[in-house]
């Protein structure tokens, strides 16, 4: 079992719809959860961090965390073609522990 | 605040050579992590340095090594290059000082060094 699992996609979503990206993790003591966006040929860019159960909203992005189910998700509202990228889920136990990345989900927003 | 910088951005080497890559973290950040990214393997963790000490290490052969200087700048070295070492090498910095869930553990990536081994 991989430590951080994501569906590789591609996930195709029409422009203006909600894109839902999911991630599960295996380490129950994980405490920090991150979503990165990576455009082709570029480096990952941090877009959301979440540390406690529930929802965290930032503009069109909402991160959701459920530690009991070991599940974290990212919702993108009003999807735009510029949201087409690979989204990486990352999990960390806390300071002095390495961050574990999932393999990423490719998202494609179709006009 | 300036972001993470990496030099060089592109590098072409031949098999058997060695290479040194450099990373300057965000000012005030003390943790630097290195990753290798290839289309087939995704983002793979190499090692992490914090206050000049290697704190975590991934599953890479000893040909891959690194170090961190007192100003938090870091270098990674790959000796005896192989064709399979062709990849995008990324470094990421974080404050990395607090336990538990905290924004201090957020990692910010540099633009990467694209290494091609011929």
pLDDT tens, position by position, A30-86: 888 999 999 999 999 999 999 999 999 999 999 999 999 999 999 999 999 999 999
Q: Which two tokens stand for residue A38?
A: 């990576």
Q: Residue A101 and residue B106: Cβ atoms within 8 Å?
A: no
Chain B residues with beta carbon closer than 8 angstroms to that of A86: none
Q: What percent of chain B has pLDDT over 90?
A: 81
Instruction: Provide the shortest C-alpha distance from residue A49 to chain B (in Å).
Output: 8
Q: What string of DSSP letters covers chain B? A: ----EEE-SEEEE-TT--EEEEEEPPTT--EEEEEEEETTTEEEEEEEEETTEEEEE-S--TTEEEEE-TTS-EEEEE-S--GGG-EEEEEEEE----SSS-GGG--EE---EEEEE-
Q: Which is it for strands A11-14 and A105-110: parallel, antiparallel or unpaired?
A: parallel
| Average pLDDT of the residues in A9-34 | 93
The pLDDT-based confidence of B7 (bands split at 50, 70, 90) is very high
| Average pLDDT of the residues in B80-96 | 94
Nearest by Cα to A97 from B33, B16, B113: B33
Q: Which residues contact B108 (CB under 8 A, 6 or more apart)?
A: A46, B3, B4, B26, B29, B92, B93, B94
Q: Tell whether A99 is within 8 A of chain B (Cβ).
A: yes
Interface list for B 50-109 with A (CB within 8 A): 50, 55-56, 58, 88, 90, 96-109
């Amino acid at each position: 079992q991989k430590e951080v699992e994501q569906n590789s996609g591609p996930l195709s979503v029409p422009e203006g719809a909600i894109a839902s990206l999911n991630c599960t993790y295996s380490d129950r003591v994980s405490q920090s959860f991150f979503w990165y966006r990576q455009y082709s040929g570029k480096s990952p860019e941090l877009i959301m961090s979440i540390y406690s159960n529930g929802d965290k909203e930032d503009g069109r992005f909402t991160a959701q965390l459920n530690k009991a189910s070991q599940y974290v998700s990212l919702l993108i509202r009003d999807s735009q073609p510029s949201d087409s990228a690979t989204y990486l889920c990352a999990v960390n136990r806390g300071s002095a522990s390495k961050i574990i990345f999932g393999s990423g989900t490719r998202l494609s927003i179709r006009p | 605040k300036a972001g993470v910088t990496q030099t060089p951005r592109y590098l072409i080497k031949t098999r058997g050579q060695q290479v040194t890559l450099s990373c300057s973290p965000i000012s005030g950040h003390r943790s630097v992590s290195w990753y290798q990214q290839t289309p087939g393997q995704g983002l793979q963790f190499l090692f992490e340095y914090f206050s000049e000490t290697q704190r975590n290490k991934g599953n890479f052969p000893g040909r891959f090594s690194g170090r961190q200087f007192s100003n938090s700048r870091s270098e990674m070295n790959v000796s005896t290059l192989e064709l399979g070492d062709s990849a995008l090498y990324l470094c990421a910095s974080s404050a990395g000082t607090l336990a538990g869930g905290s924004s201090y553990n957020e990692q910010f990536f540099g633009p990467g060094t694209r290494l091609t081994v011929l």
